[in-house]
Structure 1
């Protein structure tokens, strides 16, 4: 082969490996998301608790169980207006105000499932979507961060998910997900 005509893949080894890893991650995430939906529909059809499941396109209320995939969420409360979170040594200040969403999450599936605060969202009355602040969520957890944990079947975790929203806004609903690719379930916060 001529010296100036080297193979593109050989010439860009690092980029080729990085692209291959990204492709593998996307395929794994897609398979994980579709497995959680299959498990949810088969377990909910055979479960005597089917009547408690939040129907698609329905909105649960604070204090009611709401299911998405392998998780059953119960939003206990939401408190807004916090200027900062943390302790004496680790404090984070909000750009606007912090809203602390107090949630319990139970794994209703047949295998362990990862829970990430980054898959949870708040909405205001005009439909603006707010992402969780992972660092603030970590600082707000008194005994460590439960929002990056694997939850085994039948087990539950409780804690707060922290959102940084403008001071003049009030969240009206939360959208909770068992994975980044799931459809999510809405919970009315008012």
Structure 2
């Protein structure tokens, strides 16, 4: 009977056993997705978001975009969605009062009774006032609609030509025409004063408007004379 050498451990043989290698086979490597479950989950979520965003076209179809663009164009051109033109706001200024219509400024209500030609001279022959051009006479009624007396300043009543040129009264001619037109005539509440104011206008210039004031510094009201 043979025996193993004294220095060799028992059963140590380099020959494989009847069932293969004497060493256990290495453990199989796990799949990448199994080893990285967190990364895999994040990747799937991102991919799902991209797919949904692509499928919905970013929140609207091309038809919706075309419709929105058409609506924006219609709005920009001032048209309504049904193709009709949008109504633009109108800002028509209120018509100015004319001859015979009351016009108010401050404590006074003015009524222009008429406008007439005054010729080239006014007053008695020996002290007549001669016009540089020709005289235009404006007949007025002034009523005090306030609660206290107010003085009328005749020199504050201005006539304007069709080109907007402003003309002041001729004081001497005004007094010669109507001595009631005393400057700074005081009018009590409820009372009215009738007077005629004379203006010296260049030949060929016609009065278009008169700007009436209850005082020197009031805003004034404009009355059409034509």
- TM normalised by structure 1 equals 0.66
Contact preservation (8 Å) 2:161, 2:209: yes
Distance in 1 between residues matched to 2:144 and 2:154, nearest whole Å: 15
**Count of matched residue positions in the alignment of Structure 1 and Structure 2:** 134
> Which of structures 1 and 2 has the larger relative contact order (alpha carbons within 8 angstroms, sep 6+)?
1
Partner SS state of residue 135, structure 1: helix
Contact preservation (8 Å) 1:116, 1:149: yes
1:99 counterpart residue number: 136
Distance apart, 1:61 and its partner CA? 0.7
1:64 counterpart residue number: 101
1:137 counterpart residue number: 174
1:111 counterpart residue number: 148
2:208 counterpart residue number: 172
Partner SS state of residue 172, structure 1: strand
Distance in 1 between residues matched to 2:101 and 2:127, nearest whole Å: 33
Gaps of 5+ in 1: 1-55
Q: CA RMSD in A?
A: 1.7
Distance in 2 between residues matched to 1:140 and 1:129, nearest whole Å: 21
- Closer, same or farther in 2 for the Cα pair 1:89/1:159, shift >3 Å? farther
2:33 counterpart residue number: none
Distance apart, 1:86 and its partner CA? 1.5
Structure 1 segments, 4+ long, off by >4 Å, are none
Distance in 2 between residues matched to 1:123 and 1:166, nearest whole Å: 12
2:190 counterpart residue number: 154
Which of 199, 212, 222 is equivalent to 1:163? 199
With 98-107 and 83-92 compared, the bigger mean Cα shift is at 83-92
Distance in 1 between residues matched to 2:94 and 2:130, nearest whole Å: 35
- TM normalised by structure 2 equals 0.56
Gaps of 5+ in 2: 1-92
Distance in 1 between residues matched to 2:128 and 2:105, nearest whole Å: 32
- Higher alpha-carbon Rg: 2
